[in-house]
Structure 1
Amino acid sequence: MKKTLFTIAAGLALVVSSQMAAAQSQNCAPRDMVVKRLAEKYGESRQSIGMGQQGMVMETFASNETGSWTITVTTPNGMTCLVASGQSYEVLAEALPVMDKDA
């Protein structure tokens, strides 16, 4: 399921990348500050990472204890913006669906 979660998060990052210029004035800071804040305030650590368009890096942070999660996108210049956050994070390991071999 990590691949599925990664795919969903990466897709979200691609959609948001077009809005990054406007968002940089809101909920954005240098990456080291964002990572430190997520760890100290929410107990979140990085759970997944992926590359988006134009050198953007999407990361999912989550807390195994509280279930809180945050998706961030970092631009090539090192600015990290919060894209989404929520509760009830869990890691899943689902098998791929069976492929129809007749198709």
Structure 2
Amino acid sequence: MKRMIIAALAALLACPVAAQTARNCATRDKVVERLAEKYGESRQALGLGAQGAMVEIFASEETGSWTITMTMPNGATCLMATGQAFERLSEALPEQGDDT
């Protein structure tokens, strides 16, 4: 899951201005409420990105649906990606090799 989050964040944070101009934006409270009511999704992870953006992953463990949002400092929250088959992972880091 960490790899998925990193890849998604890299792609999404490359164009935060474009995300704000999209029609899939609203106040954070409205977005969070809609994700909970309509899809049963709750926040699973978050991180800070470029220009003060907060990126959050919401998901429903019952249905497997997931949504990635980005909230800009001005308060606009935009849907960046959605999908199915959400899985919670807890992978260990690979062992570090000895470079000597």
C-alpha displacement of 1:94:
1.1
Residue 72 in structure 1 maps to residue 66 in structure 2: no
Structure 1 CA distance for aligned equivalents of residues 42 and 59 of structure 2 = 6
Residue 87 in structure 1 maps to residue 84 in structure 2: yes
Check whether the contact 1:13–1:52 (CA below 8 A) recurs between aligned residues.
no
Trace 1:5-44 onto structure 2 (pairs within 5 A). Answer: 5-23=4-22, 26-44=23-41
Residue 101 in structure 1 maps to residue 98 in structure 2: yes
C-alpha displacement of 1:102:
1.2
C-alpha displacement of 1:12:
3.2
C-alpha displacement of 1:22:
3.1
Structure 2 CA distance for aligned equivalents of residues 10 and 80 of structure 1 = 15
**Gapped regions of structure 2 (runs ≥ 5):** none
Q: If the length of structure 2 is used for normalisation, what is the TM-score?
A: 0.88
Identity of matched residues, % = 56
C-alpha displacement of 1:97:
1.5
**Gapped regions of structure 1 (runs ≥ 5):** none
What RMSD, in angstroms, separates the aligned Cα atoms of the two structures? Answer: 1.7
C-alpha displacement of 1:88:
0.2
The size of the alignment, in residue pairs, is: 100
Q: Residue type matched to 2:99 in 1?
A: D
Q: If the length of structure 1 is used for normalisation, what is the TM-score?
A: 0.86
